[in-house]
Structure 1
Amino acid sequence: MSKSEDPIIQTHAARSWRIWLVVFLLALIVAGITSKLLSLYGDDQAFLRSQGDARTLRTMLIPAHRGLITDRNGEPLAVSAPVATIWADPLRTDLQHGGLTRLAQLLDMKPHELKSVLTANPERRFLYLKRQVTPELAEAVEALGIPGVHADREYKRYYPAGEVATHLIGFTNVDGEGQEGLELAYNHSLRGEPGRKLVLKDRVGRTIKHIRSLQDADAGSDLQLSIDLRLQYMAYRELKAAVESHRADAGSAVVLDVKTGEVLALVNQPSYNPNDRSELKTDALRNRALTDLFEPGSTMKPLTVAAAMMSGQYTRDSIIDTSPGYIRVGGASIKDHRNYGKLDLTGIITKSSNVGVTRLALEMPHDTVRNLLHNVGLGRDTGTGFPGERTGVLPFLAERQRVERATMSYGYGLSTTLLQLAQAYVPLAADGIMRPATLLKQTQTPAGTRVLPPGVGPQVLDMLETVISAKGTGRRAAVEGYRVGGKTGTVHKASGGGYAEDKYVSVFAGVAPLTNPRLVIAVMVDNPKGQEYYGGLVAAPIFSRIAAGSLRLLNVPPDKWPEPPSTHVAMQ
């Protein structure tokens, strides 16, 4: 047997070959691992880092502070307070965590209710547990360290004036978006822009490190209103008391600054508390002074008289025969309360003669009265920008529409808001200058537009003062120490295509003080019930109390000092 055929040698060669094969395979494995490590630390490093960051780095929103709303003197009407929102990621929430019972207590829930909420939405990644909680409660929740339960910081709107100013200010929803009033009208500028920041989170979603700010939050712009909160409180108190005492359906009052057109107070009843809307009724939401329309009635007579004086056909001393106390126009009969006989223009206002203003309107060109009413703002947007504000109805009338022209002269057949009515009296108080109403504080006096010739307004104001006298219909509107003037209105409410015999709207519009007019005040009470329903009995006393309080708060000096008692020297 040859040496090459030795079995021992063959066995050794086979083993040697196997060893080298194993070594080679091990070398390949080492080479592969080394190559992969080099790849991970080289070409794939950026990709892996981005994947890791995607699982730990998050971009979070920084809530923007909503702008402050204040009155004209800087008193806050709407502020944003820091709060927090508690939310959960049901997919990551540990339902066996020992802190769940305490969490349920903090959220005013029962433990089984909390678990039911979390297990009912197992696939969701975001679930609100409770919104707008105090920062202290949020800190207590975070201290529990429950995986998947988080607290985010945000803001909650608070309204210090409550129901007193809510119809103007409105409110925001839980997400901080304006829903009503000026909060809605100026939502874009008030809300600002949220910021963004980069944070590092752990595997259960808790923020463990602030990396850097990506964009700073841009706070909303502040809004300063023309409202004087002192006058607002006082007017609201007086209106509410009157609406309750007369068991009326609703009421509104507006106070305008004659020199600027600024709304110093605007109140409504019924109202609501914007800080607690749990029992809010839809009927209470309306800002009636801007959205509710009514026929202004006899409060239009001073404007009809002003139009007559503008026409050049009449002067203050012109005599109108109102006998026999009624007048037939077409198929309609227009009546006064009694036969007032011959009246000058002042007497027509004092006695509130329907026959007198009808004769004036029908003897002038057919569009004279309508044109003046349009020029003083009736049938037009006031320009306040308030959501839902109505423009009213001021129809165009042809010359043949004699009945409609007659009824328009004493305030029927057209409709207006209370703010429009107040604005229409501004030219009477400002010697013919029309200044648009505004809800924002003015830094300078607007120029205005002349709508009455000089001298007409002051003459009409003198006529309106007689309405407050013992001979007039508005005696209860008198203000001690001040000359005031105004006009009453009592209007049957429209109902079923006609007018209800037992439902009324009581109105009063006036100016104070007359020596140097500062305020126009308009009051409307909807459907007062009981013995008193005339404007002179219901709305006029509200005007008196609001005017007295406003003039005192604004430090307007009296212009009607009481006459000293007469003294007689005894003759010896």
Structure 2
Amino acid sequence: MLENASTNYDSIKIDGANKSAIEVCKQRIIAVSVIFFVVTVLISIKLFYVSSSGSVIKTEIINDQLPIVRGKILDRNDKILAVSLPSYSLHMNGTKVRKPIILLAKLSKIIPTIDKSKILKKINDQKKFIYIARQLTPKVAEEVHLLGEPSLDFDIESLRLYPLEKETGYLLGYMGFDDKPHAGVERSFDEKLKQGKDVKLTLDSRLQSIVYDKLKDGFIEFNAKAAVGIIMDVTNGEILAAVSIPDFNPNLRSQHKSGNSNNRVTMSNYEMGSIFKSFTIASGLNENLINLDSRFDASKPYEVKGKIVTDFHPKNRILSLKEVFVYSSNIGSAMIAMQLGMEKQNHYLIALGLNKTIDSGIKEINAPLFPEVVSEADIVSRSYGYHISVNPLQVIAALAATVNGGKYIEPFVVDDPIYKKRPSVQVFKPEVSNIMRYLYRSVVSDGGTASKINIKEYKIGGKTGTASPVENGQYNTEKNIVSFISFLPINDPKYAIFILLDNPNPHKKPQATAGWTAVPIARDIVREMAPVVGEPGLNFNMTKNINKEAILQ
């Protein structure tokens, strides 16, 4: 009976509010475990020194004054994301070693990772200072001490730990063996941290874990080259989650390589494709050039000064504005862009921060590629996300302005007044946001390219984007950059969820577009995150600010 119960227990799945509670408990357990570990280490160190009177172990502590401990990095709920703990560094004076072979054999039993041949060579060369191992625990250091070897000595150094490991690797950066910060928040706020002051982020570690898990699953399932996932509060610009894959574990020093500094959230620029139609349509609405009654002739390809524009899913008929957005018509977007013109198009893209480097609290960022528009063909290309290359953090902030009442708010990841007090920019009229919410919802609910996120529990709006990457100066139509922006809840948006996959390669080629890859990942994230952030489900009221009749009135 008990055996059966155990088997059944293994198959239990926890969802919804219960899972939220479990996540809270999990965070509390992590916090308590870290505190317990810190206290244990400190007690061990104290006992170690008390028991080692007259031994070879030394300390740099003078007059009982401990060195300043590097500040912690915390999430928005004060959960520990990075913390410094004391550890031991073991070194040797090669001129004092009497029986090197025997000594190294004993050391290797305690510290199996040491390179005996390398150390032996340095002993034979009579080196006075030879590093044996770093960041040893008090238990391991005590075992070495009990060898009673006078050629060995210890120093205390700081061990930086990252409880969420790979989930926050790129965002936080890491501390190297040289005790210098490399990348991320560690580097950006080094001065504050090394003064012993904590740095608090806008990040919610619960959401970070959800995005990481679902994005990693999708990255593997769709055999992608890379993946990005971001959650942003559209009302204030706070980044609640930001994940870049491939990832790395900052706790593993062997993974601290220059190649691992490529945080694709801020450092990789992409031509985003059709999600740029959001900007084109919102700009046209704001200039009163178009409205929901506008019609566009997509019955045949559209030619602009020698450039032929076609639709990926052609309807070969007259399309309404809603249909242009729902079916992601390049032809309709190109026609709107031509009405808008070069000057106005540039005005809106610049107002949305798509031409500048964003200061979010992360120093590692690439400037966007915002080439000069020299022809009408360039205007058309930009209308559906080509001829302009931006990073994911830029695009989620710009898209947020299409639904939050029209305000562009520069995004940030560090909870600091220098970011929170920055003024917003009113780019679109509030009524434009109202119409855009209706259009985003239609893409999900009316058979559009994001229908796979049309789940009954939550009402969501969004827009897909699929683009071919540039390789060797030409577009490679055999590969895709796919992306998806979604908003929750769509009647009064609070959260933006952005997903990007670089060259997903599922077995069935037609399923390499955003609707088949990025959209399901976003759907899974929404199902997990909504109960955590307290979003209502079945009682959702879709009548507020979303129905077409209200818009037309």
Same fold (TM over 0.5): yes
Q: 2:296 & 2:107 partners in 1: Cα distance? A: 82
Q: Is the 8 A contact 1:95 1:115 kept in 2?
A: no
Q: 1:547 & 1:112 partners in 2: Cα distance? A: 52
Q: Is the 8 A contact 1:467 1:486 kept in 2?
A: yes
Secondary structure of the structure 2 residue equivalent to 1:528: coil
**2:303 aligned with 1:328:** yes
Q: 1:383 & 1:114 partners in 2: Cα distance? A: 45
CA deviation map 1:474-532 (0-9, x unaligned): 10122433221111111112122211121111111121111221101111111111321
**Who is 1:180 aligned against?**
183
- State the AA in 1 paired with 2:81: L
Match of 2:74 among 70, 74, 85: 70
Q: 2:122 & 2:253 partners in 1: Cα distance? A: 28
Residues 403 and 151 (structure 1), Cα distance of their counterparts in 2 relative to 1, 3 Å cut: same
Q: Is the 8 A contact 1:358 1:409 kept in 2?
A: yes
Residues 117 and 525 (structure 1), Cα distance of their counterparts in 2 relative to 1, 3 Å cut: same
Alpha-carbon shift at residue 111 of structure 1 (Å): 12
Match of 1:548 among 521, 527, 547: 527
Q: 2:316 & 2:400 partners in 1: Cα distance? A: 30
Match of 1:308 among 284, 287, 290: 284
**2:111 aligned with 1:128:** no
Alpha-carbon shift at residue 264 of structure 1 (Å): 0.6
Residues 85 and 294 (structure 1), Cα distance of their counterparts in 2 relative to 1, 3 Å cut: same
Q: Is the 8 A contact 2:463 2:486 kept in 1?
A: yes
Normalized per residue, the structure richer in helix is: 2
- State the AA in 1 paired with 2:415: K
Q: Is the 8 A contact 2:94 2:122 kept in 1?
A: yes
Match of 1:149 among 149, 152, 156: 152
Question: When the two structures are superposed, what TM-score results if normalisation uses the length of structure 1?
Answer: 0.77
Secondary structure of the structure 2 residue equivalent to 1:557: coil
Alpha-carbon shift at residue 340 of structure 1 (Å): 4.4
Q: Is the 8 A contact 1:250 1:269 kept in 2?
A: yes
Alpha-carbon shift at residue 94 of structure 1 (Å): 4.9
**2:92 aligned with 1:85:** no
CA deviation map 1:378-399 (0-9, x unaligned): 121121142321121122324x
Residues 486 and 103 (structure 1), Cα distance of their counterparts in 2 relative to 1, 3 Å cut: closer
**2:443 aligned with 1:464:** no
Q: Is the 8 A contact 1:320 1:344 kept in 2?
A: yes
Q: Sequence identity, in percent?
A: 27
**2:405 aligned with 1:431:** yes
- State the AA in 1 paired with 2:193: L
Aligned residue pairs, count: 475
Q: 2:416 & 2:526 partners in 1: Cα distance? A: 22
- State the AA in 2 paired with 1:328: E
Q: Which runs of 5+ in 1 are unaligned?
A: 1-56, 193-219, 564-572
Alpha-carbon shift at residue 161 of structure 1 (Å): 0.5
Residues 115 and 300 (structure 1), Cα distance of their counterparts in 2 relative to 1, 3 Å cut: closer
Alpha-carbon shift at residue 144 of structure 1 (Å): 4.4
**Who is 2:141 aligned against?**
138
Alpha-carbon shift at residue 558 of structure 1 (Å): 3.3
Residues 553 and 319 (structure 1), Cα distance of their counterparts in 2 relative to 1, 3 Å cut: same
CA deviation map 1:170-207 (0-9, x unaligned): 21112322123222222232233xxxxxxxxxxxxxxx
> 1:120-519 alignment to 2 at 5 Å?
120-122=124-126, 124-192=127-195, 220-278=196-254, 285-322=261-298, 324-336=299-311, 337-398=313-374, 401-441=375-415, 447-519=423-495
Residues 442 and 482 (structure 1), Cα distance of their counterparts in 2 relative to 1, 3 Å cut: farther
Question: When the two structures are superposed, what TM-score results if normalisation uses the length of structure 2?
Answer: 0.79
**Who is 1:9 aligned against?**
none
Residues 447 and 479 (structure 1), Cα distance of their counterparts in 2 relative to 1, 3 Å cut: farther
**Who is 2:6 aligned against?**
none
Alpha-carbon shift at residue 449 of structure 1 (Å): 2.0
Q: 1:464 & 1:387 partners in 2: Cα distance? A: 33
Q: Is the 8 A contact 1:370 1:394 kept in 2?
A: no
Q: 1:58 & 1:103 partners in 2: Cα distance? A: 22
Residues 109 and 429 (structure 1), Cα distance of their counterparts in 2 relative to 1, 3 Å cut: closer
Q: 1:140 & 1:90 partners in 2: Cα distance? A: 20
Residues 118 and 334 (structure 1), Cα distance of their counterparts in 2 relative to 1, 3 Å cut: closer
Q: Is the 8 A contact 2:183 2:364 kept in 1?
A: no
Normalized per residue, the structure richer in strand is: 1
